[in-house]
Amino acid sequence: MTSFTFNRFKLDFYSRTKIDPVKNTSFYDSALVTLRAAKEFTRRYMNNPHTDGLLLTGQVGSGKTFLACCIANALLAQGKILLFIAVPDLLDQIKATYDAKNENSVTESELLDTAREVPLLILDDLGAHNYTNWTRNKIFSIINHRLNYLLPTLITTNINLEDLEQFLGDRTTSRIFQMCRPYRLLVDVDIRMQMISQGR
């Protein structure tokens, strides 16, 4: 993931002819706007650690994680401290702390405190798991703390904006909309597949 840098983020995977029905712009233009927003976030964050975060949406293989990694790598290169974690992994790690045999490992509150308090949190893949009340409460507690302390969060998700509330509940969704500027990456074919068919 260290090789995911802005200069490797290619725009030619995004169609110039297919149109985003919501914004009435081409997939290419949406990707360009999103790439600019990601670069701009990196600059904004360097100047102000309490700036707005980003919510990157888009279907499977549209470059969301890649772009989040580009931001992370640019900021890590500038010495910034951040946590990049896939949400399903975070939830699994929290669950693992309940296992009595794991006496010496970190506690749930240590894990949650890290996610709540780290200067920049990148939550990758919010949505690729089943939501229970337990899951929703953990995510709420992280998001709510970060909003209260004006700590930016970057989120990538496959879930459409209009469906987010159904998965996360209204309280978490409302906070995410307040904290994060939404951007969409659209592709007509999964970039993983495009790379295979183009031999890239």
Ligand X SMILES: Nc1ncnc2c1ncn2[C@@H]1O[C@H](COP(=O)(O)OP(=O)(O)OP(=O)(O)O)[C@@H](O)[C@H]1O
Q: CA-CA distances (angstroms) from residue 86 to 82, 113, 132?
A: 13, 16, 17
Please state whether beta strands 19-20 and 25-26 pair in parallel, antiparallel, or not at all (unpaired): antiparallel
Q: Which of 30, 65, 73, 153 binds ligand X (CB under 6 A)?
A: 65
Q: CA-CA distances (angstroms) from residue 69 to 1, 4, 15, 36, 74?
A: 7, 6, 22, 15, 8
Report how far residue 85's alpha carbon sits from residue 38's, in angstroms, rounded to the nearest whole number.
18
Q: Which of 5, 36, 48, 60 binds ligand X (CB under 6 A)?
A: 60
Least distance CB 66 / ligand X (angstroms): 3
Q: Which of 30, 34, 125, 154 binds ligand X (CB under 6 A)?
A: 125
Least distance CB 101 / ligand X (angstroms): 32
Residue nearest to Mg ion (CB): 65
> By C-beta, is 147 or 153 nearer to ligand X?
153
Please report whether residue 65 would count as binding Mg ion according to CB under 5 A. Answer: yes
- Cβ neighbors of 70 (< 8 A, separation 6 or more) are 4, 5, 6, 8, 9, 38
Strand, helix or coil for residue 83:
strand
Least distance CB 124 / ligand X (angstroms): 7
Report how far residue 79's alpha carbon sits from residue 2's, in angstroms, rounded to the nearest whole number.
14
Q: Which of 41, 45, 66, 183 binds ligand X (CB under 6 A)?
A: 66
Residue nearest to ligand X (CB): 63
Stretch that binds ligand X, among 22-30, 61-69, 101-109, 140-148 (CB under 6 A): 61-69
